[in-house]
Amino acid sequence: MPMKFPSFRSRREDYPEKMWTRCPSCEEQLFNKQLEKAMNVCPSCGHHFRLSATMRLSQLLDDGSFVERDPGLVSVDPLGFVDQKPYPDRVAAAQLATGLRDAAVWGTGRIEGMRIAILVMDFGFMGGSMGAVVGEKVARAAEGALEEGIPLVIVSASGGARMQEGTLALMQLVKTMAALERLRAARVPYVSVMSDPTTGGVFASYAAMGDVNLAEPNALIGFAGARVGAGTIGQELPPGFQRSEFLYRHGFVDRIVQRADLRQELAQVLRFLAPTQPWGKEAARG
């Protein structure tokens, strides 16, 4: 299978640095350095910009604690899928643009000293779509957490299943849920964090099923696309439809957490969830 993998250059070379970013919510012009210091949250209106996988990991984990696992997983093209360009070209472009091999990164790390398994998604990689690589990484993260007896945290950011892998992408819903069911049966905690957006098949599998579900404010969270929903049914959408606060009101999100508080609150929840008896395949926790 011929596929060129990009060299992983510093992304400074790929993107000319802009000094300013316009907030899509309040339209304020924001100095990038300032935005970055504010964890990519608009200091003026609180709009939560999307985060890259590495930014997310750096914001959540103790410095230097992250060890990536299974970095070598890459997508192939089981269907020979071509739309306006071939699927492998889309993957290659996304790799080039993000410096990632696919839309999820998983590994182990520490949060306020607690060892956890963590998987974060990157919307920048083909809309965070879930193909076999994302599904495989979620399953391995769950199996890794089970093996080591440490909690699992997943930060979702995804438009759903990756169409270019057809029903094999759909089957990742089963793969991930089956692994999570084993984690639950072994009483190993799992916390789901939903960021903007968490939709389609990712919401309809692991993202919805945390022991505790956290969400960032105003994130788009839903199953059916608003276009599909409104178009098919011809109904007006309720206000705030498919936003974090809507999901919270309807009972599917435990807490809406500002990004600035996320690390601390996640750690707090994990401290409560940590079983009083050892669990998982080993009780060994470092």
Partner 1 sequence: MVDRILGRGREAREGHEGRGDQAPDAPAADPKAAVWARVQLARNLRRPRILELLAVIADEFVELHGDRLFGDDEAVVAGFARIEGRRVVVVGQQKGADTEENVRRSFGMPHPEGYRKAMRVMELAERCGLPVVTFVDVPGAHPGPESEERGIAEAIARSVGLMSRLRTPIVTVITGEGGSGGALAIAVGDVVLALENAVYSVISPEGCASILWRTTDEAPTAALAMRMTADDQRALGVVDLVIAEPGEGAHADHAETGRRLKTAITEQLDRLAAIPVEVLVEQRYRRYRSLGAYAELAGPAPTPPVPPRGGLADRLRGLIEAGQRAIPAPLPVGRRDEPPAREDV
What part of residues 78-137 is at the interface with partner 1 (CB under 8 A)? 78-84, 98-101, 105, 123-124, 127-129, 131-133, 135-136
250 touches 31 (CB < 8 A): no
Site for partner 1 in 247-276 (CB under 8 A): 248-255, 263, 265, 268-269, 271-276
Query: Minimal distance in Å, beta carbon 27 to Zn ion?
Result: 7
98 touches 122 (CB < 8 A): yes
- Token pair 């435990």 in the structure block, residue: 254
What's the rounded Cα separation, in Å, for the pair 138 and 180?
9
Under rule CB under 8 A, residue 19 binds partner 1: no
Answer for which of 21, 38, 44, 76 binds Zn ion (CB under 5 A) is 44
Q: How far is CA 16 from CA 19, 20, 56, 93, 104, in A?
A: 10, 12, 22, 17, 25
Under rule CB under 5 A, residue 39 binds Zn ion: no
Task: Say which entry of partner 1, Zn ion, none residue 114 contacts (CB below 5 to 8 A, set by partner kind).
Answer: none
Residues in the chain: 286
The stretch among 47-55, 164-172, 181-189, 269-277 that binds Zn ion (CB under 5 A) is 47-55
Task: Say which entry of partner 1, Zn ion, none residue 26 contacts (CB below 5 to 8 A, set by partner kind).
Answer: Zn ion
Q: Dihedral sign, CA of 35, 40, 46, 47?
A: positive
223 touches 204 (CB < 8 A): yes
Under rule CB under 8 A, residue 51 binds partner 1: yes
Task: Say which entry of Zn ion, partner 1, none residue 280 contacts (CB below 5 to 8 A, set by partner kind).
Answer: none
Site mask for partner 1 (CB under 8 A), range 217-246, x = bound: ---x-xxxxxxxx--xx-x-xx--xx---x
223 touches 201 (CB < 8 A): no
Q: Count residues near Zn ion (CB under 5 A).
A: 8
Q: Dihedral sign, CA of 236, 170, 129, 198?
A: positive
Task: Say which entry of partner 1, Zn ion, none residue 70 contacts (CB below 5 to 8 A, set by partner kind).
Answer: partner 1
Q: How far is C-alpha 34 from the chain's CA centre?
A: 24
Write out the residues near Zn ion by the rule CB under 5 A. 23, 25-26, 28, 42, 44-45, 47
